[in-house]
Each structure stands twice: as structure tokens, then as C-alpha cells.
Amino acid sequence: MERVYNFSAGPSMLPMPVLEKAAAEMICYGDSGMSVMEMSHRSPVYEKIIADAEALLRKVMNVPDNYKVLFLQGGASTQFAAVPLNLLNGSGKADYILSGQFSSKAYKEAQKYGDVKAVASSKDANFSFVPKTTREDFRPDADYVHICFNNTIYGTKFPYIPDTGDIPLVADFSSCILSEPVDISKFGLIYAGAQKNMAPAGLTVVIVREDLIGKARESTPTMLDYKVMADNDSMYNTPPCYCIYVAKLVYEWIESIGGLTEMKKMNEKKAKLLYDYLDSQDYYIAPVQKESRSMMNVTFVTGDADLDKKFAAEAGAKGLKNLKGHRSVGGMRASIYNAMPYEGVEALVAFMKEFAANNPKK
Ligand SMILES: Cc1ncc(COP(=O)(O)O)c(C=O)c1O
């Protein structure tokens, strides 16, 4: 069977060279005589895999020396609780910007642990843009400010990094990590589920400034305490071994194509092709305000729920899979992460033109 163009929001496509290398090494990794899946995480061969993965991620993302990189489990959703448990321990106040469903979930979870305030929200506009903030919007004694940098469901992205002064900025990067260079020093903590741009589901990466570690409240579950994980090099317990191995292959692939600067150029080119088409016609509507458009998740509707359904079904039959929008918003969403080739977006635009011509609106 031929491979399809998979526009899924996650888990999503992995780069072909990564799949090929993983396939070649599936049964016997190096001269170990076993698969990475079967290996003890305490074996020297695996210890090298995880150490190499961390070193490569640090290199690719240019992670400053005073940040720890943690390979964890539980998905980004577990970080919705881990962040307040570890960080909400000074004034007990945290400020959240609500720009979509995941930041709203993170906000709700954090409310269990302290005085948590929504300082800005675009909910009234169906999250079609990212709210603007200035330093004055945040409580000066807040322990941290939380944002979701790319909103997977609505197809928006922060067009700016909020100025929070000395307050640590915490950001959910699940659907945009590794898509472009990021100045990590502007953030206190970044977290991301791996299943969009990094690896199979099961791995969550946390990049956290060292001075924010070691302040978890007493009741924090051991597994959620960043200090425990940092002190044990992410191996307090069995880590998601195979996911970390695939993540390493993805980091190698990004390096091989020229790093995040090149990755960004490729992603911009793909997104431009799709947005330029959307802006050039009036059959499809792109609901997101231009300034807040995501480079990774592109949302659009026909304005007719039946046509939207037909679109996703016919596209799927032609090998353009998973274009149905999130169940909470409907319409269509094309997730064009790092591994989606330019040709996949070309094929999508060609199909969009064909569909519009064949299905005039009443
Ligand atoms: C931006 C963002 N945050 C959080 C999540 C939740 O991630 P997980 O399923 O890894 O818990 C997702 C999942 O799609 C996401 O896109």
C-alpha cells in the first residue's frame, strides 16, 4: 500500500528517513542483538541513546546551559498539573492567557492548586485570535504566567512572546516545538507532548530553567516532581525508551536538513502555499485572524456543514487523510507539521480547487 498524506493533528506524520532508519534498526540495534524496545533502560547502549537524544535536542534548540531537559510521560495534559505543583509555591498566584481549549484546560487544572487568574481570553471570538497582552496585565507577584504558544484546534499561534518582566513564562509548545528557532531564555519552562513534531505518543519533553526546580509542594507525586526527574536524568523509573529513541532520530534528521532555521523556511513555504490559496478565493473561509495564523495547523470551512463532511470524505478517498476539523469546532483542519512534504500541501490545494469547482454552493 502507498503512503498517504496524513494531515492529522497528532499523532501525525514522521519524516520518511526517520521511519526508514527505525525500520532498519527495528530488530537489531547496532551490535546489541536486540531491538531498542527490548533493551534495559539501565544498559550502557540505552544510556547512550538517551544521553545522545538530550545532547542533540539541546543543540538543535540551542538550549542554554542553565536549563534542564526532561524526558517524561503522561502527555502535555499531565503538565497542566505538574506546572502548578512545581511552580505555584511563592505567592500562590498564577496568570493564564486563554487562547484555546488546551490553555483553558491547563487553567482549570491549575485552579485546583492556588489563586489562578485568566488575564486575557479570546473565547468570546471562538478563539479566532491570540489575545494581546502587556506587562501591566500580569500580577507582579504571580509565580508564573502560562500560555499555549500554538493552538492546535483553532489554528492560531502567538505572534509575539508576552513580556512578563521577571515573572517566569511557561508555554505549552506541543504543536509547534521544533518548527522554528525559539529563544528559550525568554521562557522559564517549555513543555510539549511529542506526538506532533517529535516522536510517537508517550513522550513529553520539559525544558525548565534550573532555578525553578526544587520548589515543588510536599504533596507533589514523586513522578511529577521536576527535581526528582532532573536528579535522575529522566530515569527515576523506566522512561518511554522507544519514543526517546525515535525522538533522537528526529533530532538527527532536523540537524541533517540544516537545523531549525531551515525547518522554519520549509514550514513557511508550505503554510504560505495554503494561506495564499485561501486568501485568493471565496469558496473556503479561513476563520483565524491573519496575524494569529498558525504555521502548523490551518483551519478552514466551506460554511456548509454537509459540504465540509463531503470534503473530508472525498479528500480521504484520494489519500489526503484526517482533514476533518476537531470535533469541537467542525470544518477542516490541515496539520502541516515538519514531516509533511511540500508536495502534500500542493496535493491538498489541487484537491481544494477541484472540490470547489465540482461542488458549487447553493
Ligand atoms: C497544544 C496542546 N496542548 C496539549 C495537548 C494535550 O496533549 P496530550 O494528549 O499529550 O496530553 C495537545 C494535544 O493535542 C495540544 O495540541
CATH 3.90.1150.10, the chain: domain bounds? 258-358
Give residue 206 CA to ligand 1 midpoint distance, Å.
13
Type of residue found at 88 = L
16-256: CATH architecture = 3-Layer(aba) Sandwich (3.40)
CATH architecture of 258-358: Alpha-Beta Complex (3.90)
Segment 148-206, tens digit of pLDDT: 999 999 999 999 999 999 999 999 999 999 999 999 999 999 999 999 999 999 999 99
How many angstroms separate the alpha carbon of residue 54 from the centre of ligand 1?
22
Nearest ligand 1 atom to alpha carbon 10:
14
pLDDT at 82: 98
- Retrieve residue 21's grid coordinates: 532508519
Counting beta carbons within 10 angstroms of the beta carbon of residue 160, is it exposed (0 to 12), middle (13 to 18) or buried (19 or more)?
A: exposed
Which numbered atom of ligand 1 lies nearest the CA of 195?
A: 10
What are the tens digits of pLDDT across the range 223-273?
Answer: 999 999 999 999 999 999 999 999 999 999 999 999 999 999 999 999 999
Q: Is residue 257 classed as helix, strand or coil in its secondary structure?
A: coil
Q: What are the start-end ranges of the E strands in 5-139?
A: 5-6, 67-72, 93-98, 115-121
Residue 102, Cβ density class (10 Å: 0-12 exposed, 13-18 middle, ≥19 buried)? buried
Does the pTM surpass 0.95? The reply is yes
- Residue among 77, 196, 205 to mutate when testing ligand 1 (max atoms within 8 A of CB): 77
Distance 102 CA to ligand 1 centre (A): 7
CA of 174 to the centre of ligand 1 (A): 6
Instruction: Name the strand (E) or helix (H) holding 148.
Output: strand 144-148
Residues with C-beta less than 6 Å from any ligand 1 atom? 10, 75-77, 102, 148, 152, 172, 174-175, 193
pLDDT band at 328 (very low <50, low <70, confident <90, very high): confident
Among protein residues, the one with the nearest Cα to ligand 1's atom 4 is 76
Return residue ranges of the chain for CATH 3.40.640.10.
16-256
User: Can you tell me which atom of ligand 1 is nearest the CA of 100?
Assistant: 1
